[in-house]
Structures are given as C-alpha cells and as structure tokens.
Structure 1
Amino acid sequence: MTLYEAELVVDRRQTAADGVLTLALRHPLGEPLPVWEPGAHIDVVLAPDLERQYSLCGDPADRTAWRIAVLREAAGRGGSAHVHGELGIGDKVRVRGPRNHFRLEPAPRYRFVAGGIGITPILPMLAAVEEAGAEWSLLYGGRTRNTMAFTAELERYGDRVTITPEDESGLLDLASVLDDVPEDTLVYCCGPAPLLDAVEARCPAGILRLERFRPKEAAAGSPDTEFEAVLARSGHTVAVPPGVSVLDAVRAAGVEVLFSCTEGTCGTCETDVVEGEPDHRDSVLTDEERAAGETMLICVSRCRGRRLVLDL
C-alpha cells in the first residue's frame, strides 16, 4: 500500500492542557489532505533519526488540516521536547500516513476509557458514534484536571462523559463501566500501560479494542532461533540469526522497508506473509489477526519454523 507522504506546515499551535500542545498541520499550497477515520495516526519526521507517531484528533471531514496533540514527556526520547521546544508556526515537517490499527467498528453501544494523552484517538470516535446515534459513555482520567486535554470540547456531551482527575477522585472506577458489559458493546481504551492492563484484565477480549503507546511486556515464549526469510518480490533470501530482527536482516540485504518505532507499536513495518508461521511479538495486531497469520510486524516478530516467505 502506498501511503501519502508530504511536507506539511505548522498552521496553528495551541495549549490544550498543562504539558499538552496541539498542532494543526496543513499543506503549504493548500492542497486537500487525505481522508482518515477515527483511530488513525500519522508518522511525523521531526528531524533526521527522530520520527514519532501521533493520533489524529481533529475532524475527519476537515481536509484542510490535520490536528495532533503532543504530551511533553520529561523522560521521553526527544520527540516531545522537539515539538514543545523547537517546532513553531510556519515550520515544516514531513508526514506519512494516515495509518489505522485502532479502527472504530460498528456497534449499537460503546464504552470508552481514556487515560491522559490517550484521549487523542478517542476524541474523534465520540463525534462519530454520536452522529451514528449509538449509545456510549466515556470514562476519562488524568493526574490533575489541568493536565487533561480537551475537557472543554467534551462538555457538550454532558453526563455521558465522566472526568476523573486522580488528585480529586482517585483512580478510575473501572468496575462502574466494565462489569456486566452487554454482549453487543465494544470497549475502546487508550492510555498508559497500567490502565490498559487493568482494563484488559476486566474485559472479555472479544469486545475490547486497545491502542498502546509503549510495547506490551512480552510473555515468555519460544527462544530466538535462526530462520530464513524469503523476499518474494525482490528475489532475496536472507538469514535471520538469533538477536537480529527481520527488519535489520532485510535492510542489510539492501531492501528498503518502511519502519519507525522498531518496538512493535506503530505498525509502520507491517508486512504481508506469503508462507510460514509468524511468531508474533508486537503490540498492534489483534488476536484474530495473529491467528490468521497474514501479516506481521517485522521489527519485532520472528518465525515459528525455519522459513518465512514475505511480500517484500
């Protein structure tokens, strides 16, 4: 799949909460941007060797600009510091996407749970389910009220939204929204890993949709063993030894592949599998997608046999 890629200009820069900036990105010539659906994110190339993924949190019908929100992370790896400290109105950044591994699926009822900056992919979902006439509620938590972005935008939804600052009300009352969930309900959750783990422990997997900003802690699995990756389109066969990712082996063979996080969270390197059984180690694919074995994230996942054939 060919993704849209272009240099966009920072058109607006606003404070959404303490430590959270929103940026509106537009095409410098005013060209319309590609359509996107709630849950989508884009890759933003902030500098050489500094690329990050940000959820689109504006209006999908507005093709004049894409809005992203960026949390300033004191212990981050440089992306948020660059956005907050160096990226100003009129500056250009290269973007790629949109890409969506957190799609809003049709359902009569939804329960949304967001923690901190995890509100960003969920915000456009609320507008979509509201327009569709579905029944829904949102439980939204953060450290303090001042650090929680978009609370003013959420006011229009009234009591369907429960705002829970930890310093005022304690931790989110997950039991109130996740116990006795009707079978026709989908649960969407995004936020820090402890929240996602808590929601996952309470919620049947079949109705839960998660998006992680950090890789899920890997369970003990099969040890790394050497296998070969056959690249069907380019004609290469490369050895993938223990401790070397498929991505690194493929790139060492001179085959260019799109990649970004190298942690199995962004989905940029997702590759079609022609033959073989992947050993999935990502934090993106659903259980159903893993069982199907039709794609894999080659930055972290490996092979359960001796040979994989990839559409590369």
Structure 2
Amino acid sequence: MPVNLPDNLPAIEILRKEHIFVMSDLRASTQDIRPLRILILNLMPLKITTETDLVRLLSNSPLQIEIEFLGLKSHTPKNTPIEHLKTFYKTFEEVEECFYDGFIVTGAPVELLPFEEVRYWKELTGIFDWARKHVTSTFYICWAGQAAMHHFYGIQKYPLEKKMFGVFSHTVNDKSFPLFRGFDDQFYAPHSRHTTVSAEEISRQPELTILSQSEEAGVYIVASRGGREFYVTGHSEYSPLTLHNEYLRDKQKGLESVELPKNYYQDNDPEKEPVVRWRSHANLLFINWLNYFVYQETPFELEKISELGELS
C-alpha cells in the first residue's frame, strides 16, 4: 500500500524516482479504507531530508498511511524555508483535539544542553503528555528518546568523552518480542550523538525494559507501557550518505575532535562509498512497529485511544 502525503511535499518526487508508491490526498480519498494516521514531530534542522528518510521507511508497509507533520510554536528552524513550514507543518493547536495511530518524534541538535534549558522544553513535554492520551504508540528517536525517558521516568543523560559516531552491531535481549520479528542475531544501526544513558539506571525503573543493546554503543531500544512508547538512541532512519554529510559538516566547522564514522566507509576510507549495513533492519523495525504496535492495537474509532491501557 502507498503512503498518503500532502500534495507537493518535496519528498514525493524523490521517492517516486526510487519507485516508492506515494499518493496524493485526492486519490487517497477515493479508497474505502481507514488509513493509519501517523504524526511526525520533526525537530531536525534539515527537515526535508528527515521527512524523506522517515517516509521512505514508512512506505514499505502494506498498510495505507496518512502522514502529518507537526512543528513547534516556541522554535523557528533556520535551515528550512518558512514557506515549507507554513505549507506542510501544523501547529499543536491544530492537532490538540485529534487522535493518531502512531507518533514519531525525531532527534534534535540540542543534546549538550540540560533538558530544562532547551528553549522549547515546556512545549515539548506538554506534547509528550498529550501523546499518552491521543496516540496508540509513540516512537522517540535519539535525543527525543532521552528527553522522553527523562520527562516520564527521570532518566539522566551523560556526556561522552567523544562522539558516538558510526554504524554499530546490536543484539536483542528478547528475540520473541514482536518489534524484532525477522531480525538476525546481530544487526547494525547508525549512531550520531554526544551523550548516552545508563543501562543500570534504566534497569532500576520497573516500567522500562531494555530491548536491544550494543557492546560499543550501549543501550539502543527501550520500551514502556507494553509498547505504547519506544525510545531509540540511534538513527535507523538515516540514508546511506547521512553520516558522510555529518562528517564533512563537522570537518568544515574545524572541529578538532572529528573522527571518521566507525564501520562505515569501505576500507575506512572517506574517499570510498559507505557500506550500508542497516537498511534491511531499519525497514523491519518500522514495519514491525507499524504492524504489531500500531495497526494491531489501535481502535478503529480513534477517539477510543484515550481508553487504552498498556498494550498486551
């Protein structure tokens, strides 16, 4: 099934060139089926790139999906045209009374700040609280995962001596957990962050379950409320060249601590193409989330989401 996107979203033409089926609002309205409603709060600076990366993964599901984008009132991005934001992004006031099958919150380049010093922290945590009553399952990525665990459970983040940067091997703690159906015993995912969370601290919280870890990158995926919330510390949604572009960006800034992303370039040579090790598991991760924790759990009447408890 295709992804239903707002007319003229830049991601549409990019994805069509990749032979990914997307449809306009007009065509979708003629299909006699209730699509899954997915809301994306995009906190990344390069919003069009992130939109495309996420839609690419969501499009691989056999389910029809209707995507909306959410922006913050208390933060105006500098790297995305204001016309794009006005055309494709809704304010919280516009969605506050709505219900969604799924919600994705991206990372943000503010991880070195204390949470409470982030300019939009109050608005963001208000949205986190809203999601618990208006969304079947929420998928928090990177800094958003750290922020949500801190807000709900008091989990702290800790600065790393050097940036966790590259593609790392991970294992699954419970192979029967539906989110990892079809996964190999070892799988790869990109990371790009300056902070980490403590597995020991998370384990002391009875409502949190560490589902996947990496010897080198640490905690990867944490769940709460039976799968109504997932906290993912890495970037499985990254496209093949995202880490390369970040590496070049940091070098151009003259940062002395910039290192090559690990396990990424052929022969560890930045002049050669990256080796993409994470694409299949990234697709499985999002497909399984949509299937087992959104589609199979969400009520047909979205308003009844507020009546859901923990997922079984």
State TM-score, norm by structure 1: 0.31
Larger Rg: 1
Structure having the higher strand fraction is: 1
Flag the structure with higher helix content. 2
TM (norm. structure 2) is: 0.31
